A and B are shown apart, each in its own frame.
Chain A
Amino acid sequence: MNIIYMLLAISVIVALVFFVAFIFSVKEGQYDDTYTPSIRMLFEDELIKEKAPEQEKPQNEHTNNQHQKLK
């Protein structure tokens, strides 16, 4: 029956491991924002490709175009 000492030790150690994990996760800031990740995980790569070839356009030209439109 002395095995119970070992079982006790193991159970306490396992409990402590989870406890330490909890403390670390709090410290890392995992609980600071509990809302955004729940939304983020639902996003996939939802890009709607309509004009695939035009995609290659250099980025700067893009923004220039927009600039003119705004004016």
Chain B
Amino acid sequence: MDKCYHCGDNCSNTAITHLDKVFCCNGCKTVFDILQENDLSYYYNLDESPGTSPSLNEAKFNFLENEAIVERLLEFNEQDTQVVSFIIPSIHCSSCIWVLENLSKIDASVKNTQVNFPEKSIRITYNSEQLSLKNLVVLLCRIGYEPSISLDDFEKKEKKVDRSLIYKLGVAGFAFGNIMFLSFPEYFEVNEFWLEKFKYIFRWLMFAFSLPVVFYSGRDYFISAYKGLRSKILNIDVPIAIGISVLFIRSTAEIIFDLGTGFFDSLAGLIFFLLLGRFFQQKTYAFLSFERDYKSYFPIAVTRIFQDPEKSTSEEQAQIYDLKTGDRILIRNSELIPVDSILIKGSALIDYSFVTGEAEPVAKRSGDKLFAGGKQQAGIIELEVIKPVEQSYLTQLWSNEIFSKTKQSNFQSLTDRISKKFTIGILSIAFIATLFWMIADPSKALNVFTAVLIVACPCAIALAAPFTLGNLLRIFGRHKLYIKDTSVIEQMSHIDTVVFDKTGTLTSNTKNLISYEGITLTEQEITLLTSTLRASNHPLSRSLYKMLQENDIETLDEFEEEIGKGISGTINQDSIRIGSFDFVESSNPTEDKLATKENYKRTEVHISSNNTYKGCYIFYNQYRNGIQEIFDRLKQHAEIIILSGDNDGEKRHLEELLPKDTQLLFNQKPKDKLEYIKQLQKLGRKVMMVGDGLNDSGALAQSNVGIVISENINVFSPACDGILDASRFKDLYDFVKLSRKGVSVIKWSFLFSLFYNIIGLLFAITGNLAPVVAAILMPLSSISIVIFTTVATNILGRKLMIKKAKT
């Protein structure tokens, strides 16, 4: 089968051949033409089939005609220069960068474009007198780069990038290097004439360099230690802060009283390595956001209708926040309903799968209440707003306190737990050793006391967790599990209960497993059925048509669609009715009811031909690949629970898939899910929630680890701790296992660093800790810990990869 020259998709029977190249659709061909006409066909030489099929729904961006909205979106706006930034999810290769940065070749009113690849964003400078923002967006859409503009973009947030860690690291590294040079001469040359003369200036220079390191770079450790002590926790920063201050005070005292060179290089090195660990721990996925709420799912504006007294109607694009109770709004096919409202006109078929977890679109009649967040699947509908957006049913969920709390506050990490014992141990060793020397040789007592505190500074322990978890974070990322921060991995290793959502998580969003029950249809009936289905836009019709599209199609003489009930079609003398049982049967009420009431929760499409009941097509959820395997493996380590917002129509099917005695709960509202997880946690469970939609967001926030499954990581996913690419769903257990192994790597490194500490303590207790010993021992322990953790996690990660290659 041919691959599309533009987007690389398989071309089915609809392939278009144009200029010796094959395209899967007209959209792709058009993009090719646009690029060709503008001398940009080099696009296809950079990467193979780099394109994306353009979406043709340009009416979607009508709201960009509203001046107030445009004003909010623009970053800079003066006379003929406008600057705007967009997120373009489809940016994925170097061809994308090239063509977008050459946008001015397609339209001269674009002055300059700059792509930020990791963020998948573009910054465009253009002239709004020649090109309106809407046309600019339409231009991008036409070449297959549709920007995503949501309610979230509307609230101008000053993006504050916190670069203080880089500054601190820079200061520490700069001082570390310089102090090393200045301290070297005294390590190697003793009593040399010139050195004796200049060593004082060297020492004071080192002192000067160490000041910003201690008081700027190392500031966080003092603050954290103070906070820990105030809340009566001996965290790892307490011994570090003690170590830093003792190092600084003793070194300063040494150079003041000309006792020695001090430990300035160890001091700067210690802080530098610690900060390096923090830096490594921070791995951010610029193109992902873990903090999204409904705002990035909602559009900025909708069409509002005004009814003048003179009976003429006018439309305008109104901002979502401006909508008031009583306003009339217009929702087109595949648009989102942004506010709770009442259906006034038109037939609504609302897909709530993302909001409530119900798999089936719901048909509504005028007068029915529609909740915000649903997606219209049929034609145009007119609605009356009953609540402003902030008070709607969906957005209310975000007022729950769980969304304002930071999750990790009550989690005690492994490092924190060990540091308590460690600190107490070190302090007692220091006091005992001092006591001993007080009796044996009082002149050495202070020396020993400070030496113990210096050498025991838990640099290596503090580095073990950041480097292990930071590296795991990157390995997970390579395997398409994107984790928010390192503490999530540690939490993940404690999981004993895994809660799954059903719709969209265990199943893909569309039901496309179809089976037929009833009297076999004749060929003619199938032709009629296929032709009738072709005319309908209902999602079920479309998936059924997809299955039957190989069959012949004839032109219908008559076609009728009753929204929410079914469709009927006629060719010559034959007629067919397709739809709900009541719809199909109403034509022939005396017929024996074949379907039993028990089956009403299944998704069925009934067929009757010439008023004779034939049978029904049954739609099943398509479960993700390897679901049984993952359940079987998970159940050995964790309890599995299913919380579904859908009805229990699939219960029996699910029970077959799941291990025995798995709890299955259906018809769970978003709030119920949240409460359920809270109850589990009260029982001491560590819960991992795996979900996908807005309906899970409460549960995701409440759980210890909230993972979102996403078919396409670029599209919206609710706030969570991690985003897992759907293709890697079957490896979920491997990730949990890897996190557990990671924690044991940390434990091994603790042992390892304890060993270094014991060596150091031997020097310290005997009163022989020379600066050069500290200068060797400290970096050596830090570096070996870094190497050990990195190598160990990489080996563990590779095992995960090898298994992948086998399957």
| A10 close to chain B: CB less than 8 A | no
B170 lies within 8 A of A47 (CB) = no
Docked CA distance A33–B167 (Å) = 17
Docked CA distance A40–B201 (Å) = 48
The count of residues in chain B whose C-beta lies closer than 8 Å to any C-beta of chain A is 46
Which of A22, A29, A32, A47 is close to B105, meaning CB atoms less than 8 Å apart? A47
Knowing A36-B117, A50-B36, say if A15 contacts B97 (CB, 8 Å): no
Docked CA distance A34–B783 (Å) = 26
Knowing A8-B201, A47-B42, A66-B34, say if A35 contacts B167 (CB, 8 Å): no
Which of B34, B39, B97, B108 is close to A47, meaning CB atoms less than 8 Å apart? B39
B37 lies within 8 A of A51 (CB) = yes
Docked CA distance A32–B118 (Å) = 9
Contacts of A33 in B (CB 8 A): 116-119
Of residues 20 through 61 on chain A, the ones whose CB sits less than 8 Å from some CB of chain B are: 22-23, 26-27, 29, 31-36, 39-40, 42-43, 46-51, 54-55, 59
B167 lies within 8 A of A62 (CB) = no
Knowing A39-B94, A55-B39, A59-B108, say if A26 contacts B34 (CB, 8 Å): no
Docked CA distance A36–B106 (Å) = 21
Which of A31, A42, A47 is close to B40, meaning CB atoms less than 8 Å apart? A47
A63 lies within 8 A of B117 (CB) = no
| B802 close to chain A: CB less than 8 A | no
- Of all chain B residues, which has the CB nearest A18? B174
B142 lies within 8 A of A70 (CB) = yes
Contacts of A26 in B (CB 8 A): 163, 166-167, 170
Docked CA distance A34–B171 (Å) = 21
Knowing A12-B205, A59-B108, A69-B30, say if A46 contacts B117 (CB, 8 Å): no
CB distance from A8 to the nearest CB of B (A): 7
Docked CA distance A38–B53 (Å) = 27
A46 lies within 8 A of B142 (CB) = no
Interface of chain A, helix or strand or loop or mixed?
Answer: helix
A-contact 0/1 string along B19-34, CB 8 Å cutoff: 0000000110010011
A-contact 0/1 string along B745-786, CB 8 Å cutoff: 000000000000000000000000000000000000000000
Docked CA distance A62–B56 (Å) = 17
CB distance from A19 to the nearest CB of B (A): 5
B56 lies within 8 A of A8 (CB) = no
| B109 close to chain A: CB less than 8 A | yes
Docked CA distance A7–B102 (Å) = 51
| B73 close to chain A: CB less than 8 A | no
- Of all chain B residues, which has the CB nearest A49? B39
A-contact 0/1 string along B150-171, CB 8 Å cutoff: 0000000000010100110011
B170 lies within 8 A of A23 (CB) = yes
Contacts of B101 in A (CB 8 A): 40, 43
| B257 close to chain A: CB less than 8 A | no
CB distance from A16 to the nearest CB of B (A): 9
Which of A39, A63, A69 is close to B107, meaning CB atoms less than 8 Å apart? A63
- Of all chain B residues, which has the CB nearest A29? B161
CB distance from A47 to the nearest CB of B (A): 4
CB distance from B606 to the nearest CB of A (A): 38
Contacts of B727 in A (CB 8 A): none
A70 lies within 8 A of B56 (CB) = yes
Knowing A26-B170, A40-B97, A40-B101, say if A63 contacts B37 (CB, 8 Å): no
Contacts of A4 in B (CB 8 A): 198
- Of all chain B residues, which has the CB nearest A47? B39
B178 lies within 8 A of A23 (CB) = no
Of residues 67 through 122 on chain B, the ones whose CB sits less than 8 Å from some CB of chain A are: 94, 97-98, 101-102, 105-109, 114-119
Which of B107, B170, B171, B205 is close to A8, meaning CB atoms less than 8 Å apart? B205
- Of all chain A residues, which has the CB nearest B208? A12
A32 lies within 8 A of B178 (CB) = no
CB distance from B767 to the nearest CB of A (A): 34
- Of all chain B residues, which has the CB nearest A32? B161
Contacts of B38 in A (CB 8 A): 62
Docked CA distance A22–B497 (Å) = 48
CB distance from B787 to the nearest CB of A (A): 25
CB distance from B630 to the nearest CB of A (A): 34
Interfacial residues, chain A to chain B (CB-CB below 8 A): 1, 4-5, 8, 12, 15, 19, 22-23, 26-27, 29, 31-36, 39-40, 42-43, 46-51, 54-55, 59, 62-63, 66, 69-70
**Chain A to chain B contacts (Cβ below 8 Å), 13 pairs:** A12-B178, A15-B174, A19-B171, A22-B174, A29-B161, A36-B114, A39-B94, A42-B94, A43-B101, A47-B39, A47-B42, A50-B39, A70-B27
* 7 extra A-B contacts, CB within 8 A, seeds A5-B201, A50-B41: A4-B198, A26-B170, A34-B118, A35-B117, A48-B41, A66-B33, A69-B26
